[in-house]
A and B are shown apart, each in its own frame.
Chain A
Amino acid sequence: MRKLYKNPSLSLFIALASLLMINGCQTGAKNLNADNLAGQILNTTVSVNFAPDGRLWRLMPTDDAVFVDSSADNGKTYSKPVRVNPVAQRISAWPENPPAIVVGKSGRIHVLYYADEQQKSTSFFSYSDDNGQTFSKPVLISDHADTARHYMDQMLVDKNNKVYMFWHDTRHEQHNSHAAAGSLSLYYTVTDQPNTAKFTNQFISDAVCSCCRTAITLSPEEKPVILVRMVFQDGARDHALINMKSDGQWSKPQRITNDNWGIEACPEHGPALSIDTQGRSHLTWFTLGDKRQGIYYARTDDYGKTASEPMQLGDTSRLSGHSDVLAVDNRVVIAWKEFDGNETSIVIKESSDRGVTWSKDKKILNSTAKSGYPELIGNGNNIFLSWTSSDHGHHFMEINP
């Protein structure tokens, strides 16, 4: 079954490294708490979200299981982690492709994660109706799970407990030989009864860049808005906004970045989007186009028909990238990563007037080890940063104005 390697030293190294990893998992399973789980987090990828009641929920993938815990004191202390998948699965997660956790008004905790089974990478859904004490048996979302990859998920729950799940799907790839490599389809499903495990798979758009996460959030009208890197007819990998109209149909993709990045490659560098209560979309993105190189911020009040002039973020000589943005009332915070060859820093910038004027850049965290991407979340009033590094574990801190 397993291939034998001709180079004995590398094979031995892999075998011993695997042995150590397995040993680590077993230790964790026997005596599980937040501290020893932290050392097993897969690819420094932790997902967080606030419940409507203000409790912080955290989802942690490991090699063969995903775990959920929660905090009543904004991340100072956490509950005992609860395992979601009862049967071991080969969990798949990396910073560009994290699993998702969202808690609805009803208190139901929704979890979406990736695992490889017969197919490579598809998504499983599970929920808890008892405040995270137990989770439902994970079910597949894709109706093409046997043949198509399903990843780069996003999940939203609106005020009426309607659950939206979005993903990148390869099901049309084999039928469209003219499509650029690394371009696939964006799909979604929506249901107000996820417990029935009936997920009608619906198509939104093709020509989506496969390896870049898509950013999706709800508008003040409680409709999903999507910021996605697409592969346009001219070959450029620029971004478009797609919004769900009041009749439930999707708008045509509205191109909003024009950096002219004509490249057939996997940038693994998706955009970020946040919409404030007055309906202004704040977006950040990465490009290495002819016109611009680096990460940028812009705002639009009409879903991309018109937009502000892009503002460059960070120090490109330090590879500034992987930004996130969050707007709460008039405040907007942007966080991103920089790297100087040895140390990774998390840098933030802030606006108090809906993105018109901005503070200076401020470094707030650093690590010399492997690390994930910064994630900004809010509880309606305050803005928090979540970031995981393999030397310091999971950080969760408030960004004070």
Chain B
Amino acid sequence: MTLKKRIPGLLFLLLALLNAPVQAEPSAFTSGSYQQILASNANQPFMLIIWSVNCSSCLKDMALLSSIHKSRPELKMVMLAADELSAAEQIQQILEKNQLSDIENWVYAEENTQKLQFAIDPKWYGELPRTYFFDKAHQRTGVSGVLSKEDYDEMFAKILK
């Protein structure tokens, strides 16, 4: 039992080492991935959108995200699916359908997702969608729920200042 429990962990470590930089499908989000995202976006504003294949409000939000991505390619968008790795196929289908598969995408890849969630934001209860807007200095604002175009524009004005 103990060994069986460890195999996925070891396997994961091995594969994490081999893992190429972001490709056109979700990368495995593990402890440390949040810091990695911050580091790779140093000195630039960006937004992090956390969603799930089971969240109907999130799916409603996708079309608008897609149009924002097209109209403002200069704005860095990072998406994170709060799903199990086994949902990777479904995640990829939804992203492709909404033409969002070419941006930086991640998926939760540890068993205890609450720890991953806590590492992102210790005050967040996990409601979805959850969007974080980071300015250049990485001062961030976290918002829960579906946002309107006006909401996005207002936040972009703040972080792109």
Contact = CB atoms under 8 A, between A and B. Distances in A.
A10 B19 contact: yes
A333 B19 CA distance: 48
Contacts of B113: 370
B25 interface: yes
Nearest to B28: A10
Given A269-B127, A319-B125, A342-B115, A13 B12 contact: yes
Contacts of B130: 265
Contact of A9 (B15, B111, B144, B145): B15
A242 to B, nearest CB: 22
B85 to A, nearest CB: 6
Given A10-B88, A267-B125, 11 more contacts: A2-B89, A3-B93, A10-B26, A13-B85, A24-B4, A263-B144, A265-B130, A265-B146, A267-B127, A286-B125, A319-B118
Interface string A94-111: 000000000000000000
A7 B22 CA distance: 9
B71 interface: no
A122 interface: no
A339 interface: yes
Contacts of B118: 319, 339, 341
A339 B114 contact: yes
B120 to A, nearest CB: 11
Interface string B58-98: 11100000000000000000000000011011001100000
Interface in B138-161: 144-146
A182 B57 contact: yes
Contacts of A17: 8, 11, 85-86
State which size class the interface on B falls in: 35 or more
26 contacts: A2-B89, A9-B15, A10-B28, A13-B109, A16-B11, A17-B8, A17-B85, A17-B86, A18-B86, A181-B59, A182-B57, A211-B55, A264-B57, A265-B127, A265-B128, A265-B129, A265-B145, A266-B58, A269-B125, A288-B144, A341-B119, A342-B115, A369-B111, A370-B113, A390-B111, A390-B112
- A interface, size bucket: 35 or more
A3 B94 CA distance: 13
Contacts of B109: 13
Q: Report, nearest first, the 6 A-B pairs whose CB atoms are least far apart.
A: A265-B145, A264-B146, A181-B60, A263-B145, A7-B23, A266-B55
A276 B47 CA distance: 49
A288 B128 CA distance: 13
A3 B23 CA distance: 15
A9 B12 CA distance: 10
Contact of B114 (A210, A264, A344): A344
Contact of A20 (B4, B123, B128): B4
B32 interface: no
B38 interface: no
Contact of B125 (A211, A288, A370): A288
A7 B91 CA distance: 14
Given A265-B57, A266-B128, A268-B127, A20 B7 contact: yes
